Chains A and B, each alone.
Chain A
Amino acid sequence: MKLFIREHLPLMIFTLVQLLAVLAVFWFDGYDHPLTALYALFLGLFVFAGYLGLRYATHRGFYARLSRPVASLAESVHKHEPAPLPAALSDLMENQYRQYQNMLQHWERKNEQYMTFLNQWIHQMKTPLSVIEMITQDGGDERMGSISEETDRLRRGLDMALYAARLDTFEQDFSVDNADLKQLVNEAVHEYKRYFIRSHVYPEVLIEEGISVRTDAKWMRFILGQLLNNAIKYSAGSGKKVTISASWEHRDVILEIRDRGVGIPKEDLPRVFRPFYTGANGRRFKESTGMGLYIVKEVIVKLNHRIELESAEGEGTLVRIRFG
């Protein structure tokens, strides 16, 4: 309605000026029947109002559509309009919508193909990795140990890529169930066993038996893995402990992972959950993609848990997960 009035305001003024001009010409010519003149004026206005009314009735949808923000692309396709202008707009929008759709589908297909490739590739890489791991498990000399350390890194890298790729299809790939927290943590620690040992960092699991949390075990194991990976990486060589403990707060279970490593500089803290953000530690420790904590946060949000991170440089980092 507002847009309609604004659109027609010049026409209204123009019509009024025109009517008054006609009246003025007659008036100065010596015509002196004000009532008839007034009648003519009102008649003119009445016809004009009729025109506006009709116009509004046929274009109401059109104006409403123009003044409403577009909520979804699908709105571009509209039911048939009677008047030529709205019909033309509809055609144009629909055409545009179709073209965008085609383009989008094209890219979606490409992305899907790429994801499929990535998935298959990661799985294929696991076979040579298995072979190398099997060979290194057999032989005990120092070089084998060093190779198995590198294979571990490769495996962790592949896992991260796999989970990052799965993040997009998370909704089809998770199921929330009761999981035993202690068991979950122990499994995650065991997966990082070699990394712990080689880094001279030791896990300390302080979790009572029988605490169960509602979560997706697979994703949670991945999250714990990422957090342990960070905890070990940033306290490697210190001989210190990484403490994983659980407690209750009201009715929520809180899981804490505390390392006594280098900690995170204060200015980096607000940004640690951002993608590709590596900060000062990332520059110092090289092996950092800036994706670990980002994916962790994304998954935590999707799982309806909460995560907090506290850290002081030189003292270590504490990550707290709250299972709601």
Chain B
Amino acid sequence: MDKGAASMYKILIVEDDPKIADLLKAHIEKYGDTAIVIHEFDRVLEQFQLHSPHVVLLDINLPSFDGYYWCRQIRQVSTCPIIFISARDGKMDQVMALENGADDFITKPFYYEIVMAKIHSQLRRVYGDYAAKNEERTVEQGGLILYPERMELHFGERNVPLSKKETILMETLMERSPRVASREDILEKLWDDAFVDDNTLSVNITRVRKRLAELGLGEALETVRGLGYRLNINAKEPKK
């Protein structure tokens, strides 16, 4: 299978709920990949062959034929990774899916992060393509650049190292900016690393403020009482 532009993958979404399909598509495209939503559920195989995607997201309950059927059909022509997405969470459903040739299974309701992580793990596994995805991920906001993997924050010429928690915190703040990142949002992200409480959050906010001050952005992180924190750097210019 050929890839288009570097790190552009095609993901085929076979989901009969149009809203879920569109929301998934929007989220996948936010990460720079292409998503194709299928509307003709009696011609899934043709659509598959037409688009030759890198990954297929497949619902079990579909009009006319079910997801297992299409999974078997696709398996006869391709080894493309197939991830089932279904509200059925019984052991038998998952076993059936895997036995019909699926590579993974996600149950509804799901978090975007999990869908994205599973898509990317399949991409890595099948296309072995660390290189394209290995282009270092960065988060940018008003001249401020965060390197989450290196755990470094750059602003103009200066840069400061961050701890793991500070990195997660900074990433959330930057993604939300200029909106407020709520206490809940930040804690939710931090909990993927460790279960921290409000005190630890305050301590880390203080530390991030210190790091920002080192970059000459002393006032950039505001506390919004009762809501959370807002990162506001647009007003400032990097000092050379």
Q: Do A and B bind? A: yes
Residues of A within 8 A of B (CB): 123-124, 126-127, 129-131, 133-135, 137-138, 140-142, 145, 151, 155, 173, 175, 189-190, 193-194, 196-198, 200, 202-205, 218, 239, 241
Decide: B17 and A197 in contact? CB cutoff 8 A: no
Identify 25 residue pairs between A and B in the complex whose beta-carbon atoms are under 8 Å apart, listed by A's number: A123-B87, A126-B87, A126-B108, A127-B20, A127-B87, A130-B108, A134-B20, A134-B24, A135-B23, A138-B23, A140-B179, A141-B179, A142-B227, A145-B182, A145-B184, A173-B91, A193-B188, A197-B183, A197-B184, A197-B187, A197-B188, A197-B191, A202-B196, A239-B197, A241-B197
Q: How far is the CB of A245 from chain B (nearest CB, A)?
A: 14
Chain A residue nearest to B182 in the complex (CB): A145
B91 and A130 form a contact (CB under 8 A):
no
Q: Is the CB of A198 within 8 A of B20?
A: no
B109's partner among A133, A197, A198 (CB-CB below 8 A) is A133
Tell whether A239 pairs with B198 under 8 Å between CB atoms, given A140-B180, A197-B188: yes
| Contact (Cβ within 8 A) A193 B191 | yes
Q: Per-position contact with A for B176-207: 1 when CB-CB < 8 Å, else 0?
A: 10011111110110010001111000000000
Contact residues of B between 82 and 110, Cβ < 8 Å to A: 87-88, 90-91, 108-110
Q: Does B112 contact A (CB under 8 A)?
A: yes
State whether the Cβ of B19 lies closer than 8 Å to any Cβ in chain A.
yes
B20 pairs with A142, CB closer than 8 A: no
Report B92 CB to chain A, min CB distance, Å.
9
Q: How far is the CA of A196 from the CA of B183 in the complex (A)?
A: 12
CB-nearest residue of chain A to B30 = A138
| B198 engages A200 (CB within 8 Å) | yes
The count of chain B contact residues (Cβ–Cβ below 8 Å) is: 31
Please state if A140 and B181 are interface contacts (CB–CB under 8 Å). Answer: yes
Chain B positions within 8 Å of A197 at CB level: 183-184, 187-188, 191
Q: What CA separation (Å) do A173 and B197 show in the bound complex?
A: 37
Q: A142-B227, A190-B191, A200-B198 are in contact. Are A129 and B184 (CB under 8 A)?
A: no
A137 vs B114: C-alpha distance when bound (angstroms): 12
The residue on A at minimum CB distance from B60 is A123
Chain B residues, CB < 8 A from A126: 87, 108-109
Least distance between A246 CB and chain B CB atoms (Å) = 16
Q: Is the CB of A205 within 8 A of B198?
A: no
- In the complex, A141 Cα to B184 Cα: how many Å? 11
A140–B110 CA distance with the chains assembled, in angstroms? 18
Q: What is the chain B residue whose CB lies nearest that of A135?
A: B23
B19 CB to closest chain A CB (Å) equals: 5
Interface residues of B in 10-44 (CB under 8 A from A): 17, 19-20, 23-24, 27
The distance from the CB of B224 to the nearest CB of chain A, in whole angstroms, is 10
Q: Judge whether B185 and A173 touch: CB under 8 Å.
A: no
Report the separation of the CA atoms of residues A133 and B87 in the bound assembly, to the nearest whole angstrom. Answer: 14
Whether the pair B87, A202 counts as a contact (CB closer than 8 A) is no
Known A-B contacts A134-B23, A197-B184, A198-B184; the reply to A127 vs B108 at CB < 8 A is yes
CA distance A124 to B20 in the complex (A): 13
Determine the chain B residues whose CB is within 8 A of the CB of A142 once the complex forms: 182, 227
A127 adjacent to B182 (CB under 8 Å): no
B112 contact from A124, A129, A134, Cβ within 8 A: A134
> Chain B: which residue is nearest A162 at the CB level?
B89
A189 touches B188 (CB 8 A): no
Nearest residue in A to B192 (C-beta to C-beta)? A190
- Find residues 119-158 in chain B having any chain A CB closer than 8 Å to their own CB: none
Contacts of A135 in B (CB 8 A): 23
Docked-complex contact A140 and B176, CB < 8 angstroms: yes
Least CB separation from A126: chain B residue: B87
- In the assembled complex, the Cα of A146 lies from the Cα of B196 at a distance in Å of 21
Closest chain B CB from A90 CB (angstroms): 44
Given A123-B88, A134-B19, A200-B198, output 10 extra A-B contacts at Cβ < 8 Å. Answer: A130-B87, A130-B110, A131-B19, A138-B27, A140-B181, A145-B184, A175-B91, A190-B191, A202-B197, A205-B195
A239 to B196, CA, bound (A): 12
Give chain A residues whose Cβ lies under 8 Å from the Cβ of B227.
Answer: 142
CA distance A127 to B60 in the complex (A): 12
Contact partners of A189 in chain B: CB under 8 A: 195
